[in-house]
Amino acid sequence: MHVSLPLWPATAGLLLALACAAAQAAPALTLADQNEATQALLERWGETQSQPPALSYANFAGGPAILEAFRAGVIDVGIAGSTPPVQAQAAGEAVRIIAAVSHDRPAYQLAVRAGLEVPRLEALKGLKIAYAEGTARQTFVLAALRKAGLTPQDVHLVPLRVSDFPDALRSGQVDVAPLIEPHFSRYVGTGADHLARFVPEQHLQGLPSDINYLYASESALKDPAKRQALLQLRRAWIAANQWAQAHPDAWAQAYYVKRQQLDPADAQRIVESQGNLTVPTLAELIPTQQAVIDLIYAAGDLPAHLQARDEFDLEFAREAEQQEAVNAR
């Protein structure tokens, strides 16, 4: 794993703007979002609440960009999959996982360039696969190769920024790329060849599931006012995810139709395919996260064999659970 990453121009400009905003009066927390999904979720859920959390948002594409923002001190908390906390730990950045939600479905779909068919994972051999170190897509690709009985040396891993994955498929720069919604539906489309534009999902069973982490900087966790705001955010974020699971039509309309401009039928299909939501405890996730670390280390993408326990703030989780128990009385 490359733990010293350059600032991309777009990221550098965003960090400068965030730094300027931080010098002015602002909400207690600045949250690093991806695809504006968390902002849309909390704002739509907040319409049902008397006191939704006060936040400012910054949108990023992938964990490496969020890590740069943590390094620059312009965000307090972020949303990411399993790999960005590993990247942060490897880079020596003091960020900790404070909450998690999970869906019982694969974290990504493997999209395939036009004109090529990949009917099963074994057919990945010799292909060019989009690869983004420091993102959960990295782990997903490595797990897919392992399930197929392949190694990274059996394919061509093409380093790319996450935001470039769809265009790389369209141009033929890569043959396969792990995509999330709404990018997957936009890429696949509804043309005559749309069923050939992805690896059938039944072959993805057993690959990493869709886990989202809420992770915060150590400086925010040590600041009394921000710690209280993080406790409130944790409650709100979990409740909002549970609301979206219970109200799929409203969530599909608010995010996939209104914000991402997808067709209502595509939006409905996406929310129906997202699987069942669970809210695991952080302690339960340590073995799962250790497996992620072990997989990346075995691929030679980590400078040292890390311990997953160090990525979680179990003390914060206990404090949150105690506070919620008191509030429930």
pLDDT digits (tens, 9 = 90+) for 204-234: 999 999 999 999 999 999 999 999 999 999 9
Q: Domain 9-102+211-327 is classified in which CATH homologous superfamily?
A: Periplasmic binding protein-like II (3.40.190.10)
Rounded to an integer, what distance in angstroms lies between the CA atom of residue 271 and that of residue 103?
A: 11
Rounded-to-integer distance, Cα 313 and Cα 58, Å: 23
pLDDT at position 260 is: 92
Domain ranges of the chain: 9-102+211-327, 109-204
Is the pLDDT reported for residue 54 higher than 90? no
b/e map 209-233, b = 16+ CB within 10 Å: ebbbbbbbbeebbeeeebbebbbbb
**Which ranges in 164-313 belong to alpha helices (H)?**
165-171, 183-188, 218-222, 224-246, 248-251, 264-272, 282-298
Long-range interactions of 251-255: CB distance < 8 A, separation 24+: 251/41, 251/44, 254/40, 254/44, 255/37, 255/40, 255/41, 255/44
Tokens of 160: 């790319």
**Is the per-residue pLDDT at 150 higher than 70?**
yes
Read off the pLDDT of residues 230-273 as tens digits, 9 standing for 90 and up: 999 999 999 999 999 999 999 999 999 999 999 999 899 899 88
pTM: 0.85
Mean pLDDT across the chain: 89
pLDDT of amino acid 193: 75
Q: Does the structural domain 109-204 have CATH classification 3.40.50.2000?
A: no
Domains 9-102+211-327 and 109-204 share a fold: yes
